[in-house]
Amino acid sequence: MDHDKIVQKLRAFNNNRDWDQYHNIKDLATAIGIEASELQELFLWKKEDELNVLLEAKRDKIEEEVADIFLFLTMFCYKANIDLENVSLKKMEKNNLKYPVEKIKGKNSKYTEL
């Protein structure tokens, strides 16, 4: 995936509609949360054995919500001058130290409980 190409297309889309004026980091952060909640809502009250059926039945809607989250996050990172790839890799390194395989494998404990 070419991140810069996505940012360019997203900026052009927003600029063509004069929406950049609404895309400050506070509102983009809020939009990320709202879209994440819309994704969560699709799974609310579903039992474990219903999840695969839901994934197929609501695939289009789930994919739209995932895309909305990604696009708002991409624009947030652009506006906040955050290199999403770099910070994600740094966070994975940090998590690797917090959750060493020999202590966490097969467990879902928080690092403070290891």
Domain ranges of the chain: 3-82, 83-114
Cα→Cα distances 102→91, 96, 107, Å: 19, 11, 10
Whether 32 and 69 have beta carbons less than 8 Å apart is answered as: yes
When pLDDT is cut at 50, 70 and 90, the band that residue 110 belongs to is: confident
Cα–Cα–Cα angle for 31, 32, 34, rounded to 5 degrees? 60
One-letter amino acid at 30 equals T
The two structure tokens encoding residue 67 = 């895309």
- Predicted TM-score (pTM) of the model is 0.87
Query: In the predicted model, is pLDDT for residue 1 greater than 80?
Result: no
pLDDT in tens, 80-96: 999 999 999 999 999 99
Give me the CATH topology for the region 3-82: Helix Hairpins (1.10.287)
